[in-house]
Structure 1
């Protein structure tokens, strides 16, 4: 009987020892599992800017009317719509109605008279023919417009900016223009015109460019302007800044030591897709933050820094 009792007691102590050992192993295992492996980073300083994209259309500021200098018939047209012309190039030939009627009779009677009745009209400057008002054989009067010539050196882009955004745009001097074919042009923003569209409430700015090749009128480009600029801002990589589902609350996981990260609410500034500006609180240069592995971490979470 005594032997049986001893055996039962020994068996119970064995079970108890095994249970205690298993519990200790589970606690150790849980402690290991709660240490989330993470990578850390430090706050940096850099200039941060946010941009606004607006449409700008190309236009020729200077357009001149090519006019007839005599009364007569349009004998010859040497240009078509869209042609590029240079200064001094002959565009039209006019012949007076007298010469049209008499022909070369006068020259045959008196060769020394050298009468032709023909007048050539030349381009005053280089540009493009954007309009033709007559065709060959038409009778025109002196001063009548024959064509419209756009000065190629007067090409600009016109930018209509909502007046509410004027303060954000007025300090821009350099503008990057993106054309529909992917070409990038550097432009210079000049002072705005002294009028505002009464319906759209937009103010027009002129962007001067030097493309080096011909650009058609009414081409729509995207002008990128600096909206807000913060020099030497405190920034963190975008992956280090977390937010809620509605993205109205932001926080970072800051390391209090090598094994614990605490949740710190922050106010976010400019976000360029790679770096995020931290407006407050103010962090020290040696502060460390969780860069990867921070998703879902609770406040005062246990971590393990990856080597």
Structure 2
């Protein structure tokens, strides 16, 4: 009996040791392989491209200056007209009936001559509402002309970005054909759209450009660049599904990483500014192996 008890005493630790060894190996296997990164303090420049529309702000409506019949129509849609050009001539009913009779009595009166309607601006004709021979009344709209001097790029600017531009700033306008032009900020409209919270900004093109109305272009807004920026690669910054909370995973010892909430600033294609907390070059931040993990994890650094 004593021999059996002694034998069990010798064998039992062996089985216990065998049982614990796979468990220890399992604990090692739980460590997540990660790579690390550190902060970058070089200046980063960020920009955003916003849609804008080419348009004429002033559209002049030319009206009839008398009641009568259109004796001539000298303009068509899409024509370019100069200020003072004769667009129409109108013969009143009286001149049509009595013109020859009166002129036979006194030719110096020129009673039968048609009244001329002239362009009051220089620009492109967008619509002609009448044709030759039509009867019009004094004040009827005859034609609409886009004032060429009022051509502008209208940018719908999100109000939170207003701090990045000011009156007189030169902005880059990107056209759909991959060319670009410069435009200056002329004025801010006095209202903000209640739904989108955007404010229209009028940009004037610095040189003559053959840009059609209603063309959708992009305006590049450069955000501030700070020489003391602290930034990390985008892969190191994590967020939730709603993109309201942001965090990083920081290595606090050789094998443990914890979640650190952050406040981010401007972004580029590959980097994110870290506004808070203040990070240093000594901080080791997870670059890979950080996605979808717990607040505290065991890690194995595979590269530095």
Query: What's the TM-score once normalised by structure 1's chain length?
Result: 0.64
Aligned residue in 2 for 1:168: 163
Runs of 5+ consecutive residues of structure 2 not aligned to the other structure: 104-111
Question: Structure 1 residues 121 and 186 mapped into 2: Cα distance closer, same or farther (>3 Å)?
Answer: same
Q: Does the aligned pair in 2 maintain the 1:65–1:146 contact within 8 Å?
A: yes
Secondary structure in structure 2 of the residue aligned to 1:191? strand
Aligned residue in 1 for 2:273: 277
Q: Does the aligned pair in 2 maintain the 1:251–1:263 contact within 8 Å?
A: no
Q: Return the alpha-carbon distance in structure 1 between the equivalents of residues 21 and 198 of structure 2.
A: 73
Greater shift in the superposed pair: 183-192 or 39-48: 183-192
Counting only pairs closer than 5 Å after superposition, residues 276-295 of structure 1 correspond to structure 2 as: 276-285=272-281, 287-295=283-291
Question: Structure 1 residues 17 and 118 mapped into 2: Cα distance closer, same or farther (>3 Å)?
Answer: same
Question: Structure 1 residues 133 and 305 mapped into 2: Cα distance closer, same or farther (>3 Å)?
Answer: same
- Cα deviation for residue 293 of structure 1 reads 0.7
- Cα deviation for residue 294 of structure 1 reads 1.6
Counting only pairs closer than 5 Å after superposition, residues 192-211 of structure 1 correspond to structure 2 as: 192=188, 205-209=201-205
Q: Residue by residue, what CA displacement relative to the aligned partner does 1:147-168 show, whole Å, maximum 9, x if unpaired?
A: 3322234222445778x75953
Q: Does the aligned pair in 2 maintain the 1:176–1:186 contact within 8 Å?
A: yes
Q: Residue by residue, what CA displacement relative to the aligned partner does 1:82-121 show, whole Å, maximum 9, x if unpaired?
A: 4232438663345676578667xx9xxxxxxxxx946776
Structure 1 residue aligned with 2:186, among 185, 190, 199?
A: 190
Structure 1 residue aligned with 2:78, among 83, 86, 90?
A: 83
Runs of 5+ consecutive residues of structure 1 not aligned to the other structure: 107-115
Residue 299 of structure 2 is aligned to residue 302 of structure 1: yes
- Cα deviation for residue 175 of structure 1 reads 5.2
Q: Return the alpha-carbon distance in structure 1 between the equivalents of residues 245 and 66 of structure 2.
A: 77
Secondary structure in structure 2 of the residue aligned to 1:43? coil
Greater shift in the superposed pair: 230-239 or 169-178: 169-178
Q: Return the alpha-carbon distance in structure 1 between the equivalents of residues 141 and 95 of structure 2.
A: 21
Question: Structure 1 residues 20 and 39 mapped into 2: Cα distance closer, same or farther (>3 Å)?
Answer: same
Q: Return the alpha-carbon distance in structure 1 between the equivalents of residues 191 and 87 of structure 2.
A: 39
Q: Return the alpha-carbon distance in structure 1 between the equivalents of residues 35 and 188 of structure 2.
A: 50
Aligned residue in 1 for 2:210: 212
Q: Number of paired residues?
A: 288
Question: Structure 1 residues 153 and 246 mapped into 2: Cα distance closer, same or farther (>3 Å)?
Answer: closer
Q: Does the aligned pair in 2 maintain the 1:159–1:206 contact within 8 Å?
A: yes
Q: Residue by residue, what CA displacement relative to the aligned partner does 1:42-73 show, whole Å, maximum 9, x if unpaired?
A: 222443547596x8665423444546689874
Residue 40 of structure 2 is aligned to residue 44 of structure 1: yes
Secondary structure in structure 1 of the residue aligned to 2:213? coil
Structure 2 residue aligned with 1:23, among 20, 24, 37?
A: 20
Secondary structure in structure 2 of the residue aligned to 1:30? helix
Secondary structure in structure 1 of the residue aligned to 2:210? coil
Residue 154 of structure 2 is aligned to residue 127 of structure 1: no
Question: Structure 1 residues 302 and 149 mapped into 2: Cα distance closer, same or farther (>3 Å)?
Answer: closer
Q: Return the alpha-carbon distance in structure 2 between the equivalents of residues 249 and 146 of structure 1.
A: 59
